[in-house]
Amino acid sequence: MDFFNYQGDTLFAEDVAVNQLAEQYGTPLYVYSRATLERHYRAYDEALAGQPHLICYAVKANSNLAVLNVLARLGAGFDIVSVGELERVLTAGGDPSKVIFSGVGKQAHEMRRALQVGIKCFNVESEAELDRLNDVAESMGLQASVSLRVNPDVDAQTHPYISTGLKENKFGISIERAEAVYLKAAGLPNLKVEGVDCHIGSQLTQSAPFLDALDRLLDLIAKLAEQGIHIKHLDLGGGLGVRYDDETPPEPSEYATKVLERLGDSDLMLIMEPGRSIAANAGILVTRVEYLKPTEAKDFAIVDAAMNDLLRPSLYSAWQNIIPVVQPGADAKTSNYDLVGPICETGDFIGKDRELALMQGDLLAVRSAGAYGFAMSSNYNSRNRAAEVMVDGEQSFLVRRRETFEQQIAGETVLPA
Ligand code: LLP
Concatenate the DSSP letters of all residues of 78-145 into one string: EEESSHHHHHHHHHTT--GGGEEE--TT--HHHHHHHHHHT-SEEEE-SHHHHHHHHHHHHHTT--EE
Q: CB 118: neighbour CB atoms within 10 A? A: 12
Q: Is the pLDDT of residue 171 over 90?
A: no
The pLDDT value recorded for residue 156 is 72
Work out which ligand 1 atom sits closest to the CA atom of 312: 24
Mean confidence (pLDDT) of the chain: 96
> What's residue 167's pLDDT?
67
Amino acid occupying residue 252: P
> Per-residue pLDDT tens for 233-242?
999 999 999 9
Asked if pLDDT for residue 332 goes beyond 70, the answer is: yes
User: 172 CB less than 6 Å from ligand 1?
Assistant: no
- What are residue 97's phi and psi, to 5 degrees? -75, 0
- 218-270 pLDDT, tens digit per residue, is 999 999 999 999 999 999 999 999 999 999 999 999 999 999 999 999 999 99
The pLDDT tens digits for 139-154 are 999 999 999 999 998 8
Cα(120)–Cα(299) distance, rounded to whole angstroms? 53
Spatial CA neighbour of 144 closest among 126, 161, 129 = 129
- Locate the domains of the chain by residue range: 4-32+280-409, 103-272
C-alpha 58 to ligand 1 mean position (Å): 7
For residue 351, list its beta bridge partners. Answer: 339
pLDDT at position 155, please? 76
The residues that bridge with 151 in the sheet, in sequence order, are 174
| pLDDT of 161 above 70 | no
Mean pLDDT, residues 343-363 taken together? 97
Q: Is the pLDDT score of 65 beyond 70? A: yes
Task: Indicate the top mutation candidate among 122, 276, 307, 314 to test ligand 1's pocket, ranked by most ligand atoms within 8 A of CB.
Answer: 276
Q: Calculate what percentage of the chain has a pLDDT beyond 90.
A: 94
Q: Among residues 335, 329, 366, 333, which one has the least CA distance to residue 349?
A: 366
What does the pLDDT read at residue 170?
A: 81
**DSSP assignment, residue 386?**
P
> Using a 6 Å cutoff on CB, does residue 274 contact ligand 1?
yes
Residues noted as catalytic: 344
Q: What pLDDT sits at residue 1? A: 76
Residue 169 pLDDT: 75
> Rounded to whole angstroms, how far apart are CA atoms 120 and 114?
9
Statement: residue 95 has pLDDT above 60: yes
Residue 101 bridge partners (DSSP): 80, 122
Ligand 1 atom with least separation from CA of 318: 25
Extract the annotated binding site for pyridoxal 5'-phosphate.
239, 273-276, 372
- Is 389:31 a contact under the CB 8 Å cutoff? yes
By alpha-carbon position, which residue is closest to atom 16 of ligand 1?
372
Q: Residue 147's pLDDT is what?
A: 98
The closest of 321, 157, 318, 186 to 249, measured between CA atoms, is 157
Q: Tell me the H-state helices in 294-386.
A: 312-316
CA distance 374 to 46: 29
Q: Does residue 201 register a pLDDT over 60?
A: yes
Question: Which of the listed CATH numbers 1.10.3470.10, 1.10.10.10, 2.40.37.10, 1.10.443.10 matches domain 4-32+280-409?
Answer: 2.40.37.10
Q: Is the CB of 252 under 6 A from ligand 1?
A: no
- Whether ligand 1 lies within 6 angstroms of the CB of 201 is answered as no
Torsion of CA 336, 280, 33, 330, to 10 degrees: 20
Question: Quick one: average pLDDT of 70-75?
Answer: 98
Helix crossing, 175-186 with 127-139: angle to 10°? 20
14-48: per-residue pLDDT in tens?
A: 999 999 999 999 999 999 999 999 999 999 999 99
pLDDT digits (tens, 9 = 90+) for 100-129: 999 999 999 999 999 999 999 999 999 999
Is the domain spanning 103-272 CATH 3.30.43.10? The answer is no
User: Average pLDDT in the 341-363 region?
Assistant: 97
pLDDT over threshold 90, residue 166: no
**Cα gap 19→209, rounded to integer Å:** 41
Ligand 1 pocket residue status of 324, Cβ below 6 Å:
no
Give 219's contacts (C-beta < 8 A, 6+ positions apart).
none
Whole-number Å distance, alpha carbon 276 to ligand 1 midpoint, is 7
Q: How close is the Cα of 78 to the center of ligand 1, in Å?
A: 13
pTM over 0.95: yes
The strands making up 4-7's β-sheet, listed across from edge to edge, are 4-7, 10-13, 16-17
Alpha carbon of 306 to ligand 1 centroid (Å): 22
- Is the complex ipTM higher than 0.95? yes
- Alpha-carbon span 401 to 322, nearest angstrom: 24
Pocket test for ligand 1, best of 202, 210, 311 (most atoms within 8 A of CB): 202
